[in-house]
Structure 1
Amino acid sequence: MVASTWLDTRDSLRRLFGRSGKEAQDRQTEMLDEDRELLTAAAPDQRAEIEQELSQRWTIQLAALLQQHPEVADDLLDVLAQSDELPKSGSQGTFLNAIGNQSSQIVQAGGDLNTGGGDITYRTKGK
Structure 2
Amino acid sequence: MDIMQVAGVGAAALVAEMAKSTWETVRAVVARMLRRDGERGAEQVLMLVDGARQQLIDSPESERGPVEERLRGELLIQLAAFLQRHPDAASELQRLTEQVEGDSAVAGARTNVHHNTNSQVVISGGAINASGGFHYGRPEVGR
TM-score (norm: length of structure 1): 0.62
2:55 corresponding residue in structure 1: 38
Gaps of 5+ in 2: 1-16, 106-143
Work out which structure has the larger RCO, using CA pairs closer than 8 Å and 6 or more positions apart in sequence: 2
Note closer, same or farther for the CA distance 1:74–1:11 as it changes in structure 2 (3 Å cut).
Answer: same
Note closer, same or farther for the CA distance 1:49–1:86 as it changes in structure 2 (3 Å cut).
Answer: farther
The residue type equivalent to 2:44 in the other structure is: R
Count of residues in correspondence between the two structures: 87
TM-score (norm: length of structure 2): 0.56
CA contact (8 A) 1:80 1:86 kept: no
The correspondence for 1:69, drawn from 81, 86, 93, is 86
The residue type equivalent to 2:49 in the other structure is: L
In the TM superposition, residue 32 of structure 1 has moved relative to its aligned partner by: 1.0
Please list the CA deviations of residues 82-126 of structure 1 after superposition, one character each: whole Å capped at 9, or x if unmatched. 2259998xxxxxxxxxxxxxxxxxxxxxxxxxxxxxxxxxxxxxx
Q: Could you tell me how far apart the structure 1 residues matched to 2:58 and 2:68 are?
A: 12
Of structures 1 and 2, the larger Rg is shown by 2
The residue type equivalent to 2:79 in the other structure is: L
How big is the alpha-carbon RMSD for the aligned residues of Structure 1 and Structure 2? 2.1
Note closer, same or farther for the CA distance 1:37–1:86 as it changes in structure 2 (3 Å cut).
Answer: farther
Please list the CA deviations of residues 35-73 of structure 1 after superposition, one character each: whole Å capped at 9, or x if unmatched. 111101101221111101000001111111110000111
Residue 12 (1) aligns with residue 12 (2): no
Structure-to-structure mapping, 1:1-127, within 5 angstroms: 1=17, 2-3=20-21, 5-84=22-101
In the TM superposition, residue 31 of structure 1 has moved relative to its aligned partner by: 1.1
